[in-house]
Structure 1
């Protein structure tokens, strides 16, 4: 099959969380261009509406459902799934992108900050996935892609809270994949390094502040650790997600695809 053909995801209904962020925005556009029906969700309705308008230029408006939701809330998760199914039918694909960064070194890390990051990045994502997965089992079909991080594969200075949440996601992806494939459901993760998004820019600002250097110096120092010498663009992550959702990736199960410009090779 042609992986990025206009009909590669035809008749698939895919739910994309965190659709208002850089990676989520590009992922929605790539999937729409491959023929998927899409439910997009986030906490900012203004940004969701803007994305919806952009998606109308790619696909028919009847293929798009936009629903504001706070995934930490059980009520919102239930409403999101109900609304999506009523408009576009069975959810055959799920892309978990919603997440936050933050934290500090261990001696300064506040318990409430640790809990917040774990709640958003892991527990809320797990709960939404569990609800949709139970429906996928009944159909014996589905594909789930979790957006983890290189921080879900190795630890870095001052990153305990975020890394813990992403390690949890990576481990959960692998364990769930072993169970899910018995029901013809594939579960995988992508693990980007520095991506050209607001989250990366915030990271450079934090590094600059901690080391008392300029933003540009902090960015240059970080890029110096990447063999390719550049940030990953959001669309590159989106393309990787899209590939994992297609039938071209039928035997890719429980993998954590690194998108790091060579920053991590093991």
Structure 2
């Protein structure tokens, strides 16, 4: 075979019909952990961009609540109770989406958990729980959708990493390691599937005002001997842009990465943290 004549990735525009004025019209997006926080904001952002949205969420009630909000925006929505740590649930998720909506164009691996502890206090259970949800599930959810995306010769996977994956921390080592793992697997999946028209990127949020942040502030405050409110106040003061982050700040960047506007980006870990991390 002559040099440069091998299989080429599909051009990342025009393959799927788009509704007028809609960046993701005609496409189907899955958002894990889409019942609250960044996941909910992302589901709504993708719907506003024209996508039909699958809310894959452990809590059936919150999944349906977000799905209803998506439908109110004029898009189709499925609420799928899903435990991302179970491969059988991930297989069922993919089968259900294909049966109901016919395709999978976007996967947002958002589901995650947090626990703080000093290194000498980390147990095997703590380590395994964090790594199972935050890293292992990201890989196997991606693995579950990849055959569909490969057959379509297109797809976008956006993983939720964190600024924690780019820096060290004395109080939440397993969490930081899990998010660094997400950055690494993002790059490896991007390389593995670029020629099949599949892009894989991740976002690295900072201090986001969500239910998870409530847990972060409580746990970190306890370790440091201060109140959750004081912990949040101190963290907010370190943000160059001068405020805590909102879920919508992260969702806007995820929407960009899922769209054709980011069609020449893959393997990237984008910091969305108000300027907290200004490297890599």
Instruction: Give your verdict on TM over 0.5.
Output: yes
Number of the residue aligned with 2:10: none
**Pick from 37, 40, 62: which aligns with 1:47?**
62
1: CA distance, partners of 2:118 / 2:147:
38
**Could you give the per-residue CA deviations for residues 189-231 of structure 1, whole angstroms, max 9, x where no partner exists?**
0000110101112211223222322332211111122112211
2: CA distance, partners of 1:177 / 1:119:
21
Number of the residue aligned with 1:32: 47
Question: Is 1:150 matched with 2:167?
Answer: no
Report the TM-score when normalising by structure 1: 0.94
**Pick from 265, 269, 280: which aligns with 1:252?**
265
2: CA distance, partners of 1:261 / 1:210:
25
Report the TM-score when normalising by structure 2: 0.90
Runs (5+) with no aligned partner, structure 1: none
* Matched-pair contact (CA < 8 Å) for 1:6–1:33: no
2: CA distance, partners of 1:103 / 1:228:
26
Number of the residue aligned with 1:126: 139
**Pick from 93, 103, 107: which aligns with 2:106?**
93
1: CA distance, partners of 2:183 / 2:263:
20
* Matched-pair contact (CA < 8 Å) for 1:208–1:218: yes
**Pick from 85, 110, 122: which aligns with 1:72?**
85
Query: SS in structure 1 opposite 2:97?
Result: helix
Query: SS in structure 2 opposite 1:228?
Result: coil
Q: Deviation at 1:265?
A: 0.5
* Matched-pair contact (CA < 8 Å) for 2:40–2:66: yes
Query: SS in structure 2 opposite 1:244?
Result: helix
Runs of 4 or more consecutive aligned structure 1 residues displaced over 4 Å after TM superposition? none
2: CA distance, partners of 1:122 / 1:204:
22
* Matched-pair contact (CA < 8 Å) for 1:103–1:114: no
**Could you give the per-residue CA deviations for residues 137-156 of structure 1, whole angstroms, max 9, x where no partner exists?**
12211111001000111111
Query: SS in structure 2 opposite 1:107?
Result: helix
Query: SS in structure 2 opposite 1:232?
Result: coil
Change in CA separation of 1:66 and 1:10 when aligned onto 2, cut-off 3 Å: same
Runs (5+) with no aligned partner, structure 2: 1-12, 14-19
**Pick from 110, 130, 135: which aligns with 1:117?**
130
Number of the residue aligned with 1:189: 202
Q: Deviation at 1:101?
A: 0.7
Query: SS in structure 1 opposite 2:229?
Result: helix
**Could you give the per-residue CA deviations for residues 29-86 of structure 1, whole angstroms, max 9, x where no partner exists?**
11111110111111111111211222221014xx111110111112211111111110
* Matched-pair contact (CA < 8 Å) for 2:135–2:179: yes
